[in-house]
A and B are shown apart, each in its own frame.
Chain A
């Protein structure tokens, strides 16, 4: 295989799809490459793969803020995302996730699509934030497009067809408050031990009418905490009560053991993170 075959820079979406279709299971998209370039550290074999670089495709770098939804191209970097969403309080969870992930240099390169597509990356910051904001994903193949919920994507991403590309993330607009709380070992710069992303819609009396809570980094994949969500609805946001409920329902999660923290610790800190999240929602900061 020549260098040009092993590393192809696509200039358009149809070009990328055609290149991926040509390569079949031997091909893979490459955006910011930060996860792929760490493969040797993870002791994963990447030999024989032929990459199709997609980060030069203009439409994948766009953020569109429309009246009814926000569209984020798959190759928008974490830094670009944080800046684009800074003025949208309803998307605070995602702006915080993007602005606080990894470190400044990685945020300049790592993409929202890469964060979603990196399987076996339990501590991906953007994933729980996107779950709590009810994000949907536009997938593109030579045969057409499909929009699916982010949770559905997480379930099928390991078995996607080789010529299927994540084109963009779509977030429905809503009058909600949201927050992203992460616990790294250092103040910043580490993979988080646990993540809680929370979004809530409050009525004029301050009562929660809708709640979405997503937990990341605790288990191998981020997911919603539905029992906690149900308990938050029809009540005013109360950080202490939310933490007590989280403590009560903490056995909903099986913490994963990792080099940076054991599983029991990840579960143990959830109540504290829920309290912080609820406080931020209550104070709308």
Chain B
């Protein structure tokens, strides 16, 4: 059973079992290791990708349900090596520590800020409820997102 996905703008075929979690297909078959495998139960958000523009936990998404869909991973953000505005804001605010949560944080925030260009600090925190960070205490991540929203 061949599954068709558009991954980061590129049409790809997967021969994986349709019940394979999307995160495993992305990492093991397509070598897109940005999305991380951590909790495998949809709590931590380290595996967050965009599926047809919506943030989803790729650890809970059977690849068979992604057939025919557009998937965006963190690797899609820096086009031609140029950091996205969100990535630049995170760098400017020194918001990254170990990096494990960050791909998920970026994908959640990228989607959120596209749909909510003028969020409050509380709105941003609510959007990140499904992205857990053990290192940073979240505040610089939120600061970076607020600064980006303000500048827009």
Taking a contact as CB atoms under 8 Å apart, the answer to whether A55 and B1 are in contact is no
Q: How far is the CA of A9 from the CA of B18 in the complex (A)?
A: 10
Against B, the Cβ 8 Å flags (1 = close, 0 = not) of A1-41 are: 01110110100000000000000000000100110011011
| Residue in contact with B60 in the complex, picked from A3, A34, A79, A189, CB distance below 8 Å | A34
The 5 nearest A-B residue pairs measured at CB: A103-B130, A3-B1, A7-B18, A189-B129, A37-B60
Does chain B have a CB within 8 A of A188? Answer: yes
Docked-complex contact A105 and B108, CB < 8 angstroms: yes
| A207 proximal to B (CB < 8 A) | no
CB-CB < 8 A to A109: which residues of B?
54, 56-57, 60-61
- Residues of chain A with a CB closer than 8 A to B61's CB: 33, 37, 109
Complex CA gap A187/B67 in Å reads: 35
Instruction: With A7-B62, A53-B64, A189-B43 as known contacts, state yes or no: A105 contacts B56, CB within 8 Å.
Output: yes
Q: In the complex, how many angstroms separate the beta carbon of B126 from the nearest chain A beta carbon?
A: 7
A38 B65 Cβ-Cβ under 8 A: no
Residues of A within 8 A of B139 (CB): none
CB distance from A8 to the nearest CB of B (A): 9
* B42 partner, pick from A3, A55, A102, beta carbons under 8 A: A102
Closest to B19 in A: A7
Residues in B with CB closer than 8 Å to A37 are 21, 42, 59-62
* CA of A9 to CA of B1, assembled, Å: 12
In the complex, A106 has a CB within 8 A of chain B: yes
Contact B43 A105 (CB under 8 A): no
Of B64, B126, B130, the residue contacting A106 (CB under 8 A) is: B130
In contact, A106 and B42 (Cβ under 8 angstroms)? yes
Whether, in the assembled complex, B13 has its beta carbon less than 8 Å from a beta carbon of chain A, the answer is no
A108→B65 contact, CB < 8 A = no
Chain A CB within 8 A of B41 CB = yes
Quote the shortest CB–CB distance from A122 to chain B (angstroms).
Answer: 16
Q: Indicate whether A172 reaches chain B with its CB closer than 8 angstroms.
A: no
Q: Is the CB of B62 within 8 A of A104?
A: no
Residues of A at the B interface (CB closer than 8 Å) are 2-4, 6-7, 9, 30, 33-34, 37-38, 40-41, 51, 53, 55, 79, 102-106, 108-109, 187-189
B126 and A105 contact, CB distance less than 8 A: no
Nearest A residue (CB) for B59: A37
Q: Can you spell out 7 A-B residue pairs with CB atoms less than 8 angstroms apart?
A: A6-B18, A7-B64, A38-B40, A102-B42, A104-B130, A106-B57, A187-B129
Among residues of B, the one whose C-beta sits closest to the C-beta of A189 is B129
Residue of A nearest to B52 (CB): A108
Fill in one digit per residue for B124-136: 1 if any A CB lies within 8 Å of its CB, else 0: 0011011010000
Interface residues of B in 111-140 (CB under 8 A from A): 112, 126-127, 129-130, 132
Minimal beta-carbon separation of B20 from chain A (angstroms): 10
Residues of chain A lying within 8 A (CB to CB) of residue B42:
34, 37-38, 102-103, 105-106
Contact indicator B55/A108 (Cβ below 8 Å): yes
Assess the B41–A38 pair: CB atoms within 8 A.
yes
Residues A108 and B54 in contact in the complex (CB < 8 Å), given A4-B1, A7-B18, A102-B42: yes
CA of A33 to CA of B63 in the docked complex: distance in angstroms?
11
Q: Mark B1-37, 1 if CB is under 8 A from A, else 0.
A: 1000000000000000111010000000000000000
Are B64 and A9 in contact, CB atoms less than 8 angstroms apart? yes
A189–B48 Cα distance when bound, in Å, is 15
